[in-house]
């Protein structure tokens, strides 16, 4: 299929440097477009590898940067459909293409002449500029770490492993999506929703109607639907049903992911050994701020004990309320959020339902844009008539001082075929080594779409997540580098979460809440007394939040350090949690059978600790603002932009943070932020 009939193949046209042709793309376009783009890049690779001229930066490293433009355009849209429009037709394409894409990447890595030229440029990099030197180092390092030095049977085996892993990752993610899409709790009595806020009831009614059940209410098997139900629904038996269905994703029947996990772990370990590393964890963390699994584990263990101690205090408070009410039961995981809310009301006179009417999705989005303007000088103007892949998607042009910076796409609602959770994508990387190219980024969420004319009201936790993902978007939009491979969020895994987690702090500032936390009916700002309650309760439930997350992160690391112990995935998970001393009342945030971070790609494998590592930077960095003139200190914000957000991967992450803060970050600010006791 040629460019004349396949919309994925031509260069993007239209304003703002070209727009993705989302409105003309169908699932049948992807396979031929990917095949054509791969052929085009492989031909370019051969020209670079066989260039008779001596290896130099421009004819080797920069030529590599030019070689993948067509492939990147096609693959960007392929990834968008893979996360947001995963129809059965697309899933069939995905299953077919996964091993082909892995083989394509290996053909590039295993091109001996190409690697020899890269190695030659890297060896002579002293004469290059700083960014060129960084790019040459990164290309060389990535090739070495991906097996460019292997030969013969080892090289062939590595290729087979990569292709098999690609197929397993696709199978894993499709199984999780099937369980999220095909299971829901359908209720036909309004009394079954007792305790739920009106906005959640309305959303459940809309979800049921959209799925062919008008007049009923649907609790979908996604986090954005499940967590409000577990927090507010009075029916304990229904909470348990919803909880068990949610934590059971990928755990039984045709979608049982446990055999997939066992095979992935074995293949990852074999691959790491082929590449010269003792474990997959050592391979992954070599290119991270932590550098070694030991350093990552030391941080997690330092936080684990105080977090568990706090969680046990939280459970005692909840059990006391349950006992006073005569509930006649012990707190279980499906009770935690429900009784935590009762404790919050009792201790802080604070009810999440009291805040929720002030947290409208549209106003919060405007608040994010305002913060970006105050901190970074960015302006967002809505665009019309821009091609989108779904009617729910909206687009803004982003400018600074009247100059085009990029485009921001926003896809907020849950739907069938869309991955659960929230995330940021980059459709096009910023660059300027062959002319100015502006980035295109997106934020994606899974809010339950309301009835027509009704506002989308979100929980405080979901509001924090909105700001978190927008922090990733600002990282991409702030990029100011020459080469696309170094742009935006293309940084160490345990550094990439730093800008996103940092932006969360601005949600709770009075400047944001006064302007944008307006009541959905009256338009009145959040009352001062409610703001004060919110501030007093800021550290509430930190034991639960930290333990729920850290259990997943520690099990991830231990599993990849000792894969031989994971013959039985369920037993390994149980035993690991028992050894940790996991409170019985709390479940892992992500159980292994649906842990997409780990098993839908290499992504966060042996790297889920990254959120905690980044939060040590986050807590310390926000204190830099508070040591100055406050959250909107322009001098600190300018330093953040110049030293962190704009730099991409043009320098070592530790050096970039040190340039911003003037020193390294310790754990003390993190412990203060979470309200845990300082280390002895």
Catalytic positions are 469
* Strands of the sheet with 394-400, listed across from one edge: 378-383, 394-400, 403-413, 439-447, 423-428
Question: Closest Cα to residue 544, out of 593, 585, 497, 505?
Answer: 585
Angle of helix 610-627 relative to helix 542-561, nearest 10 degrees? 140
Mention every residue, 6+ apart, whose C-beta is less than 8 A from residue 646. Answer: 478, 479, 480, 481
Q: How many CB atoms lie within 10 A of CB 603?
A: 14
Q: Structure tokens of 47?
A: 């020209």
- Alpha-carbon span 27 to 184, nearest angstrom: 27
Nearest in space to 408 (alpha carbons), one of 430, 382, 429: 382
Tokens 């099990």 belong to residue: 555
Q: What is the DSSP string of 269-323?
A: HHHHHHTT-SSHHHHHHTTSSS-SHHHHHHHHHHHHHHHHHHHHHHHHHHHHHHH
The 3-state secondary structure of 95-115 reads HHHHHHHHHHHHHHHCCHHHH
User: 442: which residues sit within 8 A by CB, 6+ positions away?
Assistant: 80, 408, 409, 410, 411, 424, 425, 426, 427, 473
Residue pair 346/321 in contact (Cβ under 8 Å)? The answer is: yes
The residue assigned the tokens 């369920």 is: 570
Q: CA of 103: how far to CAs of 38, 96, 154, 166, in Å?
A: 10, 12, 15, 9
Helix then strand then coil, in percent of the chain rounded to 5, is 60, 10, 30
Q: Are strands 439-447 and 403-413 parallel, antiparallel or unpaired?
A: parallel
| Cβ 308 vs Cβ 583: under 8 Å | yes
Asked if residue 471 lies in contact with residue 640, where contact means CB atoms within 8 angstroms, the answer is no
Are residues 235 and 335 in contact, defined by beta-carbon separation less than 8 angstroms? no
Residue 521: Cβ-neighbour burial (10 angstroms; 0-12, 13-18, 19+): exposed
473, 395 in Cβ contact below 8 A? Answer: no
Is 560 in contact with 280 (CB distance < 8 Å)?
A: yes
Pairing mode, if any, of strands 439-447 and 378-383? Answer: unpaired
- Helices (H), ranges, 68-87: 69-84
Helices (H) and strands (E) in the chain, counts: 27, 7
The CA distances from residue 8 to 22, 418, 498, 502, in Å, are 9, 21, 34, 36
């Amino acid at each position: 299929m040629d460019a004349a009939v396949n919309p994925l193949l031509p260069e993007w046209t239209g304003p703002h440097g070209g727009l993705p042709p989302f409105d003309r793309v169908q699932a049948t376009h992807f396979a031929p477009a990917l095949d054509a783009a791969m052929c085009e890049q492989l031909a370019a690779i051969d020209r670079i590898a066989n260039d008779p001229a001596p290896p130099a930066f421009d004819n080797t490293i920069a030529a590599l940067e030019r070689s993948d433009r067509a492939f990147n355009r096609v693959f960007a849209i392929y990834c968008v459909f893979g996360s947001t429009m995963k129809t059965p037709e697309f899933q069939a394409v995905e299953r077919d293409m996964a091993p082909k894409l892995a083989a394509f990447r290996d053909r590039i890595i295993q091109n001996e002449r190409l690697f020899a030229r890269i190695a030659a440029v890297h060896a002579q990099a002293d004469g290059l500029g700083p960014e060129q030197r960084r790019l040459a180092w990164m290309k060389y390092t990535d090739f070495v770490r991906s097996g460019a030095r292997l030969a013969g049977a080892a090289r062939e085996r590595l290729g087979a492993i990569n292709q098999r892993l690609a197929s397993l990752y696709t199978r894993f993610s499709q199984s999780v999506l099937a369980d999220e899409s095909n299971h829901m709790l359908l209720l036909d009595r309004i009394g079954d929703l007792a305790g739920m806020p009106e906005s959640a009831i309305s959303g459940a009614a809309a979800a049921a109607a959209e799925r062919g059940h008008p007049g009923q209410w649907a609790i979908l098997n996604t986090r954005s639907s499940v967590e409000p139900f577990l927090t507010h629904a009075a029916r304990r038996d229904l909470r348990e049903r919803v909880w068990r269905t949610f934590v059971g994703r990928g755990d039984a029947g045709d979608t049982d992911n446990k055999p997939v996990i066992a095979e992935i772990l074995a293949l990852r370990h074999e691959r790491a050994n082929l590449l010269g590393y003792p474990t997959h964890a050592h391979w992954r963390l070599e290119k991270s701020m932590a550098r070694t699994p030991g350093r990552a584990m030391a941080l997690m263990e330092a936080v684990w004990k105080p977090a568990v101690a706090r969680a046990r205090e939280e459970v005692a408070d909840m059990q006391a309320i349950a006992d006073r009410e005569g509930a006649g039961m012990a707190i279980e995981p499906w009770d935690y959020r429900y009784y935590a809310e009762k404790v919050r009301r009792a201790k802080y006179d604070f009810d999440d339902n009291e805040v929720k009417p002030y947290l409208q999705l549209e106003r919060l989005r405007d608040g994010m844009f305002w913060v970006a303007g105050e901190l970074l000088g960015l302006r967002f103007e809505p665009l019309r008539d821009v091609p989108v892949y779904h009617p729910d998607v909206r687009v803004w042009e982003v400018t600074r001082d009247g100059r085009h910076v990029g485009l921001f796409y926003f896809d907020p609602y849950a739907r069938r075929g869309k991955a659960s959770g929230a995330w940021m994508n980059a459709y096009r990387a910023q660059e300027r080594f062959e002319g100015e190219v502006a980035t295109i980024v997106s934020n994606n969420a899974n809010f339950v779409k309301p009835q027509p004319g009704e506002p989308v009201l979100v929980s405080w936790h979901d509001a924090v997540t909105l700001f978190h993902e927008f922090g990733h978007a600002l990282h991409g939009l702030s990029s100011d580098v020459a080469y696309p491979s170094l742009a935006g969020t293309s940084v160490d895994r345990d550094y990439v979460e730093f800008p996103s987690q940092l932006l969360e702090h601005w949600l709770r500032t009075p400047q944001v809440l006064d302007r944008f936390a307006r009541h959905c009916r009256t338009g009145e700002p959040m009352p001062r007394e409610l703001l004060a309650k919110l501030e007093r309760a800021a550290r509430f439930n930190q034991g639960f939040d930290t333990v729920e997350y850290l259990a997943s992160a520690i099990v991830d690391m231990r599993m990849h350090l000792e894969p031989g112990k994971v013959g039985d995935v369920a037993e390994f998970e149980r035993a690991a949690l028992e050894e940790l001393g996991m409170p019985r009342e709390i479940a892992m945030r992500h159980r292994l059978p649906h842990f997409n971070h780990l098993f839908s790609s290499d992504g966060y494998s042996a790297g889920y600790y990254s959120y905690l590592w980044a939060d040590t930077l986050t807590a310390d960095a926000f204190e830099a603002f508070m040591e100055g003139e406050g959250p909107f200190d322009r001098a600190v914000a300018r330093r953040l932009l110049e030293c962190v957000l704009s730099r991409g991967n043009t320098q070592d992450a530790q050096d970039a943070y040190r340039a911003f803060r003037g020193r390294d970050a310790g754990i003390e600010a993190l412990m203060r932020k979470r309200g845990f006791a300082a280390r002895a």
